[in-house]
């Protein structure tokens, strides 16, 4: 069985000292615990300092975004090379907040995924429908486009390192998570789509995380669903105690 993955997406929260305090606490708490693969996604400015604090702890780091070029006149952007140099191995790509507020579309997302893979970083690609799309019955059609266009041109072998997160926009930050059945349907569809486009091995090795209003009360039931390979946690990951409880609820699947 695949080791589950647990990601903390801190979004635009925590100063560097706050991130380091959490990182040290986590490092000490986690030291001899077995459990899910754990990844923190802080703001860019905390990546380098956190990498030092977490060295040797087994806790990985993810950037929350990336530019597709290695360097150049792109004020305010951060390249895959810089992310790698900061000691980070994962990059969240196409989060719905970037799609909604910053106009990211399929083409940009695809360029980012290809660039990240070229540098040996691991992309965590977010997909998911809006409430309007769900209510109009087009969830699977939306997921179909997001997968086929966002992942266009990938080698089959990319799926050993690439992760997908199913994050319905209506479930993010709203306190309204999907039901286990809704997660199973969406994850099953995404896996089948990847199998159709990239082959059975790609679909089988792909890890699909669920994200959207995860908390200590619902994490265990979602991770118990075999189609759910991990969880991407936003708001509830900001509080160390709540996030460590979520970690503990994933340990049953990890042993």
Q: Which residues are catalytic?
A: 95, 167
Q: Where are the alpha helices (DSSP H) in 33-162?
A: 44-54, 80-85, 96-102, 106-118, 131-135, 139-150
Our finding on whether 168 is near ligand PGA (CB under 6 A) is no
Gap between the Cα atoms of 229 and 231, Å rounded: 7
Identify which of residues 113 and 177 has a Cβ nearer to ligand PGA in the complex: 177
User: Could you tell me if 250 and 6 are in contact, meaning their C-beta atoms sit under 8 angstroms apart?
Assistant: yes
Q: Binding segment for ligand PGA among 57-65, 153-161, 186-194, 227-235 (CB under 6 A)?
A: 227-235
211 lies in the binding site for ligand PGA (CB under 6 A): yes
Which is nearer to ligand PGA, 120 or 173 (by Cβ)? 173
Site string for ligand PGA, 117-156 (x = CB under 6 A): ----------------------------------------
Q: What would the 3-class secondary structure string for 148-213 be? A: HHHCCCCCHHHHHCCEEEECCHHHCCCCCCCCHHHHHHHHHHHHHHHHHHHCHHHHHHCEEEEECC
233 binds ligand PGA, rule: CB under 6 A: yes
234 binds ligand PGA (CB under 6 A): yes
- Classify burial at 84, counting beta carbons within 10 Å of its beta carbon; exposed 0-12, middle 13-18, buried 19 or more: middle
230 binds ligand PGA (CB under 6 A): no
CB of 9 to ligand PGA, least distance (A): 4
Should residue 172 be labelled a site residue for ligand PGA when binding is judged by CB under 6 A?
yes
Interacting residue ranges for ligand PGA, rule: CB under 6 A: 9, 167, 172-173, 211-214, 232-236
């Amino acid at each position: 069985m695949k080791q589950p993955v647990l990601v903390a997406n801190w979004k635009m929260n925590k100063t560097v000292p706050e991130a380091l305090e959490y990182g040290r606490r986590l490092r000490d708490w986690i030291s001899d615990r077995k459990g899910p693969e754990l990844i923190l996604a802080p703001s860019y400015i905390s990546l380098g300092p956190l990498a030092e604090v977490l060295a040797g702890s087994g806790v990985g780091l993810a950037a929350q975004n990336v530019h597709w070029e290695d360097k150049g006149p792109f004020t305010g952007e951060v390249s895959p090379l810089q992310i790698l140099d900061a000691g980070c191995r994962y990059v969240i790509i196409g989060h719905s907040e970037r799609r909604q507020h910053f106009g990211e579309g399929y083409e940009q997302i695809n360029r980012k995924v290809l660039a990240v893979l070229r540098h040996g970083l691991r992309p965590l690609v977010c997909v998911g429908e809006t409430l309007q799309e769900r209510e109009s019955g087009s969830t699977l059609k939306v997921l179909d486009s997001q997968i086929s266009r966002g992942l266009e041109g990938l080698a089959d072998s990319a799926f050993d390192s690439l992760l997908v997160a199913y994050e319905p926009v209506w479930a993010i930050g709203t306190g309204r998570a999907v039901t286990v059945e809704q997660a199973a349907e969406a994850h099953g569809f995404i896996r089948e789509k990847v199998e159709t486009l990239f082959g059975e091995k790609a679909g089988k090795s792909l890890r699909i995380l669920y994200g959207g209003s995860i908390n200590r009360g619902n994490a265990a039931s979602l991770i118990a669903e075999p189609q759910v390979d991990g969880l991407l946690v936003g708001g509830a990951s900001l509080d160390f105690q709540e996030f460590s409880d979520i970690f503990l609820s994933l340990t049953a699947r990890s042993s």
